């Protein structure tokens, strides 16, 4: 069965600082990996995805993520955080066997200090 | 990407009543799903809405409590029946556009409070 672990419940950073949100997955084959962001009172927006190819993927809003098979990780990064990045971030794994239904991690809440 | 509209966006309901949430996609999609997000929690899949047939429910969710319809390729409803305060959650509609696409898109969610 597929699963996702986001070890950090909350992350606090100062505006302008760099950010890394951790995600580890468990999956029997090559996974499809996603990062979603949920702003307060909103639905989920896809930030980026990895299916194959280049292990460093670029997303919207200046985010990137790196797939590391040896570590079963797909960490999300941003070089300089903006106050508007404060939100809940969800890592998800899916795909394989014809299943497109993602399994989500518990989420990491990003707090940005001015 | 597909645009998904959900309504209502929020509601406060009395226990014992039922609420039907509507999900409309702006284009035909192959798969539609319903998720529940309890306060401070991640998303839990309730069921896959199947066009023209009964929905496929995940463990812990049953049709009597969460009846789902999907009459065509762009529309689905989720009913939360005989509500209790434990049903207070955000309910999210999701879709996958086509078999060549593998990312799911989400509506803005319905925030339900049961009193």
d(CA A103, CA A105): 7
In chain A, what residues touch B6 (CB-CB under 8 Å)? 43
d(CA A25, CA B101): 21
Range with the lowest mean pLDDT among A16-20, B53-57, B78-82, B110-114?
B53-57
Q: Which residues 34-53 on chain A approach chain B with CB closer than 8 angstroms?
A: 34, 36, 41-46, 49, 51
**Burial category of A41 from C-beta neighbours within 10 Å (exposed 0-12, middle 13-18, buried 19 and up):** exposed
pLDDT less than 70: residues of chain A:
95-100
Task: Quote the pLDDT of residue A95.
Answer: 63
Q: Is the pLDDT of residue B69 over 90?
A: yes
Task: Quote the pLDDT of residue A99.
Answer: 59
Kindly report, residue by residue over B7-57, the tens digit of the pLDDT. Answer: 999 999 999 999 999 999 999 888 899 999 998 888 999 999 989 889 999
Residues in chain B: 115
Q: What is the SS3 assignment for B100?
A: coil
E-strand stretches of B1-115: 4-7, 10-13, 19-25, 31-37, 43-49, 56-57, 68-69, 75-80, 89-96, 105-106, 110-114
Relative to beta strand A87-94, strand B31-37 is: unpaired
Task: Quote the pLDDT of residue A110.
Answer: 97
d(CA B106, CA B109): 8
In chain A, what residues touch B108 (CB-CB under 8 Å)? 42-43
* Residue A81 φ/ψ, nearest 5 degrees: -85, 140
Are B109 and A101 an interchain contact pair (Cβ–Cβ within 8 Å)? Answer: no
d(CA B21, CA B45): 16
How big is the A-B interface in CB pairs under 8 Å? 47
**Burial category of A79 from C-beta neighbours within 10 Å (exposed 0-12, middle 13-18, buried 19 and up):** exposed
């Amino acid at each position: 069965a597929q699963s996702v672990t986001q070890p950090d419940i909350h992350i606090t950073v100062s505006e302008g600082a760099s950010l890394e949100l951790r995600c580890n997955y468990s999956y029997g084959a090559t996974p499809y990996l996603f990062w979603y962001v949920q702003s307060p009172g909103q639905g989920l927006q896809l930030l980026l995805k990895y299916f194959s190819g280049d292990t460093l993927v670029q997303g919207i809003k200046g985010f990137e993520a790196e797939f590391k098979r040896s570590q079963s990780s797909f960490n999300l990064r941003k070089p300089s955080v903006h106050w508007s990045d404060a939100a809940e971030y969800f890592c998800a794994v899916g795909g394989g066997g014809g299943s497109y239904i993602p399994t989500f991690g518990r989420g990491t809440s990003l707090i940005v200090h001015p | 990407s597909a645009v998904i509209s959900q309504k209502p966006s929020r509601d406060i309901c009395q226990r014992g009543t039922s609420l039907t949430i509507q999900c409309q996609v702006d284009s035909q999609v192959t798969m539609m799903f319903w998720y529940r997000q309890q306060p401070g929690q991640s998303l839990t899949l309730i069921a896959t809405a199947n066009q023209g047939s009964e929905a496929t429910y995940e463990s812990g969710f049953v049709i009597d409590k969460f009846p789902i319809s999907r009459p065509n390729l762009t529309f689905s409803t989720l009913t939360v029946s005989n509500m209790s305060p434990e049903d207070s959650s955000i309910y999210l509609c999701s879709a996958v556009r086509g078999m060549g696409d593998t990312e799911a898109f989400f509506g803005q969610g319905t925030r339900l409070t049961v009193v």
